[in-house]
Amino acid sequence: MTLSTSTRASALVRRRLVAGVAAGFLGMGAALGSGLMATASAAESTTITGVVLGVGANETQRIVSWYSSADTAQKIQLAPTAEIVNGEFPAGAVSFDAVGAANTSTTGFNRHATISNLREKTAYSYRVGAEGSWSPAYAFKTQDFEGDYDFLFFGDPQIGSSGDRLKDQAGWEDTLKVATAANPNAELLVSAGDHVESANDEGQWTSFLAPEQLRQIPLVATIGNHDVGGKSYEQHHFTPNTDRSSAYYNGDQATRSGGDYWFIHKDVLFIDLNSNSYANPADGSAGGDAAHVAYVTDVINKHGSEAKWKVLVYHHSIYSPASHATDTDNKQRREDFTTAFSNLGVDMVLQGHDHSYSRSYSIKNGQKENPAEKPGAADVFPGPGGVIYVTANSASGSKYYDIKKPDATGTGIRGNGPDPLDANKYWYNSVQNQEHVRSYVKVQVRGDKLVLANVRSGTCAAPNAAVEKGLSCVNTPDGQPVGSIVDNVTVHPFHGDGQAIQVNVPNPAPGEFGWTIDGYNGLVDLGTAQERNGTYFQANGKINPILVSDSRRSLAPWSISANVGDFQDADKTFSGSYLGWNPYVLDAGAGAEAGAPVLSSLDDQGKGLSVSSALAAAAQGHPRGGAKLGADLDLKIPDSIAKGSYRTTLTITALSS
């Protein structure tokens, strides 16, 4: 039999060899240990609410935010879900201390903590609070930390904007249910902002945070214009690498919320902006936009080379098709942002605010990059500086804006004139859509492309609050059910005149540590003990050699040790301490060093092999390879031991890091 252990965790394994005195046999078995886990106790003294799993600075992190009724020391407890036994968290569950302060929009307190050092392709369970006041346990899973993945993008839920908070909540919950069921391995939920109608209405926040998916898949929170004017947004959403200085929000300091932040998830550098700040409050100049551009420039200069794709997220859509398309502030953002984004190599910009769907042409420096690009093209090949701008429709059905007709302002950077290829839509949009049905955007990140799809998450039927309250739904084509595609496009990277060559390099095999008995696991027969000096009996033999192999790249330490129990013959026994050994390395390799000799207790009054003793071990950094281990056995027993055929079990324990 062979036992191997992963380099990712310690392993404890026992195998047994049988030795006899008058007649002996060698037998072998294996026992594998399993982990323990611990349940969350029901919160009594402290009430925990509003738990939301947020994105961390990279794949190995998550930030969890929550509300608490008490101002007490709190934390996150985390353990691999596989270690949960009967809902119990193990004694060794990892803890992360939380910080926070008093809420400003309601009673109670806010807390957040960052989970770090996550392993890839692992299911985790977590709970927040403190002993005696834990939240329920929630679960999430990590995927491979390299390569392809999908994320989902959601337009303004704006819970409460229909006038019926619970109807809005129902639509939001249904969209997340539909989207995650269709995409069970989606790794991020990206928000376009306007989570609620009123920034300080905690009932609306409760409805926004109601879906269980917000505790299972990390949310990339974006602040919208309805989320400002109070601290609730940042109390509910603590974000990584965030600059919350005044340049990134021009509201009153007492209510300022949000900021600009960035993170990297696999091959995408995400930069999320608080687009509520666009003008300098002192003189009306574009001070806020200038600060955002400086922030994006700094982040891309420092971290752009760490990812293949650069995606910006902010609330105020600058190329949308509906009510906000002609807003003065959005026209100003076109002037302030577009050339900078092109120069910085941004690939895609995700936006909300206009409660309708649109996908732009490839835009460079505020103009259509390729006049020949066709409306609704399924494949787009942006050149250097080409950026795709996407506006998401309502994810909750709380509010829709109807598409507006182009005007006579032309195709300049601030213009909203008609597309020469389709006079019914704006010059900058390849696709515009408004059916008064809920939808979401799926983005597939691939090594050689971004694949974007706008997907219906509802129909005219409930839950669809705006339609339930009287808005028409005549734009919905027949036969377009939940899950059907509104728009689909593949964005291909620019390769110039050359040929791009790509290769995917997997993680190296971690290798294994293992051991087995060399050859046939036969009888270790010590024969018949011989009387010595008329005072004791002695028997000698050798263990069956043990083969060790270690191919782990970590070159972590390993050890093989063993011990025996009492020798028994029916109801007669004598102590295993009378057995000693002298270990040695038969064939060198894998850093193997023999353990020290162990004497029979008859020689040194010790405990012999009745306690675990090292057969061999290797230190950190040892070479990979294999070794053969052996040991001479020496049994010395008093001559007062009754006649019989005695056996014991030699239990071998292998440890590896």
The string of pLDDT tens digits covering residues 407-448 is: 999 999 999 999 999 999 999 999 999 999 999 999 999 988
The string of pLDDT tens digits covering residues 35-56 is: 222 233 333 579 999 999 999 9
Question: Which pLDDT value is given to residue 281?
Answer: 59
The string of pLDDT tens digits covering residues 602-627 is: 999 999 999 999 999 999 999 999 99
Q: How confident is the model at residue 280 (pLDDT cuts 50, 70, 90)?
A: low
The answer to whether the CB of 39 falls within 8 A of the CB of 88 is yes
Once rounded to an integer, what is the mean pLDDT over residues 116-121?
96
The string of pLDDT tens digits covering residues 352-395 is: 999 999 999 999 999 999 999 999 999 999 999 999 999 999 99
Q: How confident is the model at residue 1 (pLDDT cuts 50, 70, 90)?
A: very low
Question: Which pLDDT value is given to residue 511?
Answer: 80
Residue 499's CB: how many other CB atoms inside 10 A?
Answer: 6
Lowest mean pLDDT among 482-486, 553-557, 575-579, 618-622: 553-557
Per-residue burial over 105-123, b = 16 or more CB atoms within 10 Å of its CB, e = otherwise: bbebbbbbbbbeebeeeee
Question: Which pLDDT value is given to residue 656?
Answer: 85
pLDDT > 60? residue 2: no
pLDDT > 60? residue 120: yes
CA–CA gap between residue 270 and residue 272 (Å, rounded): 6
Q: Which of 23, 26, 17, 18 has the alpha carbon at shortest distance from 539?
A: 23
Question: Which pLDDT value is given to residue 286?
Answer: 65
Once rounded to an integer, what is the mean pLDDT over residues 163-184?
98
Q: For 213, list phi and psi in degrees, rounded to 5.
A: -60, -25
Once rounded to an integer, what is the mean pLDDT over residues 262-282?
89
pLDDT > 80? residue 186: yes
Question: Which pLDDT value is given to residue 17?
Answer: 37
Question: Which pLDDT value is given to residue 181?
Answer: 98
**Residue 654 CA to its chain's centroid (Å):** 32
Lowest mean pLDDT among 61-70, 73-82, 132-141, 505-514: 505-514
Once rounded to an integer, what is the mean pLDDT over residues 96-123?
96
Instruction: Identify which has the larger pLDDT, 505 or 481.
Output: 481
Task: Compute the radius of gyration of the chain from its Cα atoms.
Answer: 34
H/E element, 79: strand 75-80
Q: How confident is the model at residue 3 (pLDDT cuts 50, 70, 90)?
A: very low
User: What percentage of residues in the chain have a pLDDT greater than 90?
Assistant: 79
The string of pLDDT tens digits covering residues 15-27 is: 333 333 332 322 2
Q: What is the 3-state secondary structure (H, E, C) of 257-270?
A: CCCEEEEEECCEEE
CA–CA gap between residue 602 and residue 361 (Å, rounded): 89
Question: Which pLDDT value is given to residue 493?
Answer: 86
Mean pLDDT (the chain) is 89
The string of pLDDT tens digits covering residues 296-317 is: 999 999 999 999 999 999 999 9
Q: Is 110 left (phi over 0), alpha (psi -120 to 50) or beta?
A: beta
pLDDT > 90? residue 345: yes
Question: Which pLDDT value is given to residue 477?
Answer: 64
Using CA atoms, how far residue 455 sits from 73, 153, 214, 481, in Å, is 43, 10, 20, 10
Question: Which pLDDT value is given to residue 447?
Answer: 86
